[in-house]
């Protein structure tokens, strides 16, 4: 159902469609679901190996418990778990759903760099994410990335620390650094002949590490790297890794530069309160119409806006800066001076 208010032409009333401000909750739900799936799949795999081996009687009490829990989860959906549960495998880096394979664009680009050739059967698995990114921009970063789930909780943790009087880092760097990291990752992949772009890419690391921890009996080196990025985010810069360093985020930002679905400010109902700028995890400037290619359509700014002055629009570029919000003091002063100028 299309909301009448997202049409830019309809200047009659500027209220955004009422569901937009609840999208942030939906976003948290999808983040939780993706993360929960990453945790559940390794357990389901272990359960599969037990059923494949017909080994119930040989299991230890703890393993039997795992078997029972997984059986109760899987039983409504599958009749032969050892085979049927193969339908969903993998993680956000690359996964398969009932034979349909879907991969991260960075995996595809990294593989091109490593092999210096185009292997289309694999590259096509990144087609759906690439198309979705062209339409919705960097949405993966806000809506799916399992690392985002942890990083946003980490951001909240940092604000508690700040509230408790502990100093946390809030330094700012150049957002273009991450494009350098992307280039560096691709160059290293090409030089080494191995897809190393994924080694410093948190969502790929998380998918692997959760699997290693649950099904392979131990954490890998990636966990240490990931903990390092969490510390970086707390001590140096809020959401610093995503903002300044993530190679995948860089690729998504480039692909989503001319995204069609983007957030815009409605100047007529904006009161310049700047809550949107404060809540923005990516340090963007919704208050002055500055979204750019970095915006991941996370809708946190829409959810927090007290005057419903942010909404979605369909445009390949941001609105040019619309000046101060019409409900703010600055605008009123401007109007007053204009009026006195006109009167004199």
Partner 1 sequence: MERRTFLQALVASAVAAAAPSTAALAASRSSLRYLRPPGALQEQEFLEHCIHCGQCGEICPNRCINYFGMENGLGSIDTPYIIPREQGCILCMKCGEVCPTDAITEIERDFEAILSGVDMGHARVDESLCLSFQGKTCGVCYRACPLPDVAIYVGRLEQPHVTDECVGCGLCERSCIQLPQAIRVFPTRA
| Helix, strand, coil percentages, rounded to 5, for the chain | 60, 5, 30
Residue (136 or 211) nearer to partner 1, CB: 211
Structure token digits, residue 157: 């943790």
300 CB neighbour count, 10 Å cutoff: 24
With CB under 8 A as the contact rule, the residue among 32, 39, 69, 191 that binds partner 1 is 191
Helices (H), 236-289: 240, 247-255, 275-279
Which of 23, 31, 41, 270 touches partner 1 (CB under 8 A)?
41
Q: Which two tokens stand for residue 137?
A: 């921009």
Name which of residues 101 to 160 contact partner 1 (CB under 8 A). 101, 103, 107, 110-111, 114-115, 119, 121-122, 125
Token pair 């300044």 is found at 244
**285 counts as binding partner 1 under rule CB under 8 A:** no
Enumerate residues 219-248 that contact partner 1 by CB under 8 A.
Answer: 220-222
Nearer to partner 1, 42 or 286 (CB): 42
Are the C-beta atoms of residues 226 and 147 closer than 8 Å to each other?
yes
Using CB under 8 A as the binding rule, whether residue 249 contacts partner 1 is answered as no
Give the tokens for residue 268: 């007529």
Judged by CB under 8 A, the chain residues 161 through 180 that form the site for partner 1 are: 174, 176-177, 180
CA distance 153 to 281: 11
Rounded CA-CA distance 95/101 in Å is: 6
Q: x/- site string to partner 1, residues 205 to 224, per CB under 8 A?
A: --xx--xx--xx---xxx--
SS3 61: helix
Residues making contact with partner 1 (CB under 8 A): 41-42, 45, 48-49, 52-53, 82, 86, 89-91, 93-96, 101, 103, 107, 110-111, 114-115, 119, 121-122, 125, 174, 176-177, 180, 183-184, 187-188, 191-196, 198-199, 204, 207-208, 211-212, 215-216, 220-222
């Amino acid at each position: 159902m299309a909301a009448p208010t997202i049409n830019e032409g309809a200047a009659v009333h500027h209220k955004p469609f009422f569901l937009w401000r609840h999208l942030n909750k939906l976003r948290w739900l999808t983040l939780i679901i993706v993360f929960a799936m990453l945790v559940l799949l390794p357990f389901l795999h272990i359960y599969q190996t037990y059923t494949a081996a017909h080994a119930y009687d040989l299991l230890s009490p703890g393993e039997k418990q795992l078997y029972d829990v997984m059986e109760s989860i899987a039983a409504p959906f599958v009749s032969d778990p050892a085979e049927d549960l193969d339908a969903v495998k993998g993680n956000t880096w690359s996964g398969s759903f009932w034979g349909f394979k879907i991969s991260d664009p960075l995996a595809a680009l990294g593989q091109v760099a490593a092999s210096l050739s185009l292997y289309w059967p694999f590259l096509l698995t990144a087609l759906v994410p690439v198309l979705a990114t062209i339409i919705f921009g960097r949405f993966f970063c806000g809506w799916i990335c399992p690392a985002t789930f942890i990083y946003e909780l980490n951001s909240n943790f940092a604000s508690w620390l700040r509230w408790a009087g502990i100093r946390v880092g809030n330094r700012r760097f150049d957002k273009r650094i991450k494009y350098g990291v992307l280039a560096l990752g691709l160059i290293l992949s090409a030089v080494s002949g191995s897809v190393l772009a994924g080694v410093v890419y948190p969502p790929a690391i998380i998918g692997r590490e959760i699997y290693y921890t649950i099904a392979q009996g131990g954490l890998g080196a990636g966990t240490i790297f990931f903990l390092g990025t969490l510390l970086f985010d707390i001590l140096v810069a809020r959401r610093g890794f995503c903002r300044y360093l993530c190679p995948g985020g860089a690729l998504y930002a480039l692909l989503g530069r001319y995204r069609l679905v983007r957030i815009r400010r409605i100047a007529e109902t904006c009161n310049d309160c700047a809550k949107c700028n404060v809540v923005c995890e990516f340090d963007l400037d919704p208050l002055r119409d500055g979204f750019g290619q970095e915006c991941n359509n996370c809708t946190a700014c829409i959810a927090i806006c007290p005057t419903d002055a942010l909404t979605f629009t369909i445009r390949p570029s941001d609105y040019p800066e619309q000046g101060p919000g019409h409900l703010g003091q600055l605008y009123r002063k401007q109007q007053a001076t204009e009026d006195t100028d006109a009167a004199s």
